[in-house]
Structure 1
Amino acid sequence: GKIIYVWGEAFLGYISSAAQWSRREGEAWEPYWDDGAVHFIGKDIIYHHSIFWPSLLLGYGCQLPRTIVAGEYLSLEGLKMSTSKNWVIWASEFMEKFDYNLLRYYLVANAPLTRDTDFSWDDFQRRVNDELADVLGNFLHRTFSFTHRFYGGEIPEPKNWNDTDQALEQQLKELPGKVSRHVEKYQFREGLREIIGLAKAGNKYFNDHEPWKAVKSDPQDAATCLYLCNQAAKTMAILLLPYLPGKAQDIIKILNLDDEKFSWNDAAQFLPAGHKLAPATPLFPKIDDEIIEKEKETLYENLEEKKVMDIISIEDFARLDLRVGKIIGAESVKGSENLLKLMVDLKDKQIQVVAGLAKKYQPAEIINQKVIVLVNLKPAKLFGIKSEGMVLATQDSLNLLNPGNAEVGEEIK
């Protein structure tokens, strides 16, 4: 039941783009193409990319990809994205308002390759403010500003090292290997977590040593603290290059290393004492609530503007298996502000439904409540949880449709 011709044309487009690059750069495309390529695709085209595409490559004499990595689906505010309904975030419009590095961070931090995930404006704001601004940005800003304030912008000479100094040194020296192992296994989120973990450790280390006090009471300890914090900043800058290339370059410029060429192995190499920093500015400003609310309003307005009445026949309606059900179990879905996992009794069977009702109902509120359920809906996964039907509710107020005193399992006509 597969239509092949379009995929033949689409795959040839890959070769054409490589040839176009070759003409522009004046280099042969075959060595680049054959150099251990990894194909990243969406899970809905695994069939085509793992059968048709390798067959075409073999027929043309090209090297097969080293591996094919399939990502899961990305929804938007709990709903399937739709370009026709404008229920989508366009990357070009996003980058007019936000730094592209923020989107790269959010998608990697929030979207493992092994399960479906959701883009939420509220969660995007939380991750930027809590993780990038308060953790990574805070550590970098304090490190650079204190180095300028107390040491004239030069990395100080470390003195006596205690156990906490040695622990941080060991953590940052081990970090490149840890991140590398995750990346090699395509565990990009886990690798990013390791980097943010060093920033969290750096903040704790900074707070414990209190260099703003120690610079007077214990100058040696303050010098060692700022020395190691600058080394951690350099380590994170290099390791962040594949994740947040723009922001990583900003950190490198503040470290006065923008003319250097770095390899991954350079990440844990320490800068010498006396190295001069460039002037520093905050790298990750927080996103205000008003900005996020405006984006959400625009998104929902676009959806309303694109609504078109679809006319269906009585035969189409008759295909819908609507029944009265009773919610016998409910719990929140970890990582989502919108979804509840429900267990619904239909008399002859029980089904699991993932419903976008969390902003209206607490799980305990809807236990034993009768609802109307669309039973013959194709199963889907939301946040990695299988949903076998749909509980009917009003769109804006999220009020559940009440079947009154109808019996559980009764069909809706």
Structure 2
Amino acid sequence: MTSGRSFYITTPIYYPSDVPHIGHGYTTVAVDTLARWHRQGGDDTWMLTGTDEHGQKMMRAASANGVTPQEWVDKLVTEAWFPLLTSLDVANDDFIRTTQPRHEERVQQFVQAIYDRGYIYAGEYEALYCVGCEEFKPESEIVDGTGAFEGLKVCAIHSKPLELLQEKNYFFKLSEFQDKLLELYSSVPDFVRPESARNEVVSFVKNGLKDLSISRSAFDWGIPLPWDESHVIYVWVDALLNYATAIGYGTDPEDFARRWPAYHVVGKDILRFHAVIWPAMLMAAGVEVPRGVFAHGWLLVGGEKMSKSKLTGIAPTEITDVFGSDAYRFYFLSAIAFGQDGSFSWEDLSARYQAELANGFGNLASRTIAMIERYFEGIVPPAASYLEGDLAIQKTVADAAAAADAAMEKFRIDEAISSIWTIVDALNLYITENEPWALAKDDAQRARLGTVLYTAAEGLRALAVLLSPVMPASTEKLWIALGAAETIGRLQDQNVREAGAWGVLRPGSSVNGLAPLFPRIEQA
């Protein structure tokens, strides 16, 4: 089902010392939905996620827990991060860990390549460092401490004291890439999206770039520099390289050529690393820059950015255990304009679950199948002649499918879902207006009843295909209930870009009883 077009998309690699919260889940399901859409649209798709396991913060956490850093990350990844993918129904193609040998050897190759090309030099460095961010802080992110930290300089993000570090380090000549980066942003206007993120990056680069310290010698939990093993590679450089190492940079040129360049989806707090430092490193190595970087907003809970250190973190399972993975995916991807900040509340989730999923989509599916069972002994009837109202539904389905694909191309998953939802609303209204239960009482209206129920069932077939990248579990149940698995084939093999064509569901298919797709939830 693949065409020639490569669609390689990545999540950031997550820092496993934090337990996953709904913010991590949000990024992951967004990337998974985009990957599923492209995979089902026939593109040569590859989705990567993973964990970033080096750095000082990890070393300190391991020693506080009385284990080696490797034992510590192994435990975290196995107990918290792999289960996240399962509980959210994520179909990633690969999972990279920065402690894997395939990553470490390729990172050394890449850094050696930019060293050989003259972009790395040795120098002295003294600056304020935040262990939480694993970053030397720019002036704009250093504030005066208050309370217990009065008189100290603290990190604006973590509100924790900064450490003054003085080291002999190796530096990457980032300052030499200012003009090339500005040229990239102007010649590829959608390299950084959305517009607000692009503007921020352009103004940051216009203010001038400082060379970047790319090694640390004060600790050893990291990948050694190939030409000076007393240094380890700065954790951010090591982490960014995962996007290239996972697809064979340096050792599997064929796979690398097939997949690269990538689209990166990141939270806006790590935008600069991805839109400034990463393309500059690739330019230095003579490798093509990414296709684009999309920065989504923050999830806010009670007005606070989601974070473990501030205790606003909510584990995804707190939601999926109650509402299921499809509702989690649907809610976060539809309720928030992708690229902007969004607020999470239990009340909003619960209200949308009830109105849109249970009463809107779920009820439409249940009653259509129940009526085919009742009036046609469970066999999908053929349509007779189509009237104006029936043709209007066909147009709604075709238009929604085209609009959803255009929105997904722009990474606007929320707009795609709202286009697809026009089918749900139109079909519910269509059933109300055409009253199949009244038609069923009149034998002379038998052909008309068949047309109405075929139209509703075929609309559901299109909905199952279009919504499967967003809600894989419930659409699979619907697909089986429609009898489509038997007559058309597997749901994941249906092309989303052809879902708007009419007349795919075959009359004569047997429908199967459908338990409610979104059961009522008793509020405690």
Task: Tell me the TM-score normalized by structure 1.
Answer: 0.64
Shift of 1:10: 1.5
Q: Could you say which residue in structure 1 is the equivalent of 2:308?
A: 83
Shift of 1:220: 2.2
For residues 117 and 184 of structure 1, the distance between their equivalents in structure 2, rounded to whole angstroms, comes to 21
CA contact (8 A) 1:237 1:251 kept: yes
* 1:39 and 2:264 matched: yes
Q: Could you say which residue in structure 1 is the equivalent of 2:513?
A: 279
For residues 88 and 187 of structure 1, the distance between their equivalents in structure 2, rounded to whole angstroms, comes to 25
Cα deviation per residue 1:43-66 (whole Å; 9 max; x = unaligned)?
Answer: 122211111111223344443221
CA contact (8 A) 1:77 1:121 kept: no
Q: Could you say which residue in structure 1 is the equivalent of 2:500?
A: 268
The 3 A distance-change label for structure 1 pair 30 and 168 is same
CA contact (8 A) 1:161 1:224 kept: yes
Q: Could you say which residue in structure 1 is the equivalent of 2:357?
A: 132
Map residues 341-360 of structure 1 onto 2, 5 A cutoff.
Answer: none
Map residues 101-180 of structure 1 onto 2, 5 A cutoff.
Answer: 101-180=326-405
Which segment is superposed worse, 222-231 or 165-174? 165-174
2:242 counterpart (13, 18, 35): 13
For residues 85 and 114 of structure 1, the distance between their equivalents in structure 2, rounded to whole angstroms, comes to 23
For residues 32 and 285 of structure 1, the distance between their equivalents in structure 2, rounded to whole angstroms, comes to 44
Cα deviation per residue 1:353-396 (whole Å; 9 max; x = unaligned)?
Answer: xxxxxxxxxxxxxxxxxxxxxxxxxxxxxxxxxxxxxxxxxxxx
For residues 14 and 160 of structure 1, the distance between their equivalents in structure 2, rounded to whole angstroms, comes to 54
* Counterpart AA for 2:458: Q
- In percent, how many aligned pairs have the same letter? 27
Q: Could you say which residue in structure 2 is the equivalent of 1:226?
A: 453
SS of residue paired to 1:289: coil
Q: Could you say which residue in structure 2 is the equivalent of 1:313?
A: none
Cα deviation per residue 1:273-331 (whole Å; 9 max; x = unaligned)?
Answer: 212223322101132321xxxxxxxxxxxxxxxxxxxxxxxxxxxxxxxxxxxxxxxxx
For residues 46 and 32 of structure 1, the distance between their equivalents in structure 2, rounded to whole angstroms, comes to 26
Q: Could you say which residue in structure 2 is the equivalent of 1:55?
A: 280
For residues 70 and 247 of structure 1, the distance between their equivalents in structure 2, rounded to whole angstroms, comes to 29
CA contact (8 A) 1:209 1:221 kept: no
For residues 207 and 215 of structure 1, the distance between their equivalents in structure 2, rounded to whole angstroms, comes to 14
* Counterpart AA for 2:499: A
For residues 65 and 243 of structure 1, the distance between their equivalents in structure 2, rounded to whole angstroms, comes to 25
The 3 A distance-change label for structure 1 pair 63 and 27 is closer
Shift of 1:266: 3.6
The 3 A distance-change label for structure 1 pair 17 and 37 is closer
Q: Could you say which residue in structure 1 is the equivalent of 2:420?
A: 195
Shift of 1:201: 0.7
The 3 A distance-change label for structure 1 pair 94 and 155 is same
SS of residue paired to 1:216: coil
Cα deviation per residue 1:165-208 (whole Å; 9 max; x = unaligned)?
Answer: 11112211222111111111222111101111110110000011
CA contact (8 A) 1:137 1:284 kept: yes
2:474 counterpart (247, 259, 274): 247
Task: Tell me the TM-score normalized by structure 2.
Answer: 0.51
CA contact (8 A) 1:147 1:154 kept: yes
* Counterpart AA for 2:513: P
For residues 147 and 31 of structure 1, the distance between their equivalents in structure 2, rounded to whole angstroms, comes to 51
For residues 204 and 70 of structure 1, the distance between their equivalents in structure 2, rounded to whole angstroms, comes to 37
Shift of 1:118: 0.5
Moved over 6 A (4+): none
Cα deviation per residue 1:6-41 (whole Å; 9 max; x = unaligned)?
Answer: 321211333444459x99xx996414531x521111
SS of residue paired to 2:264: strand
For residues 72 and 156 of structure 1, the distance between their equivalents in structure 2, rounded to whole angstroms, comes to 47
For residues 288 and 467 of structure 2, the distance between their equivalents in structure 1, rounded to whole angstroms, comes to 30
CA RMSD of aligned residues (A): 2.4
Q: Point out which structure has higher relative CO (alpha carbons under 8 A, 6+ apart).
A: 2
The 3 A distance-change label for structure 1 pair 242 and 128 is same
For residues 297 and 413 of structure 2, the distance between their equivalents in structure 1, rounded to whole angstroms, comes to 14
CA contact (8 A) 1:135 1:196 kept: no
For residues 89 and 247 of structure 1, the distance between their equivalents in structure 2, rounded to whole angstroms, comes to 24
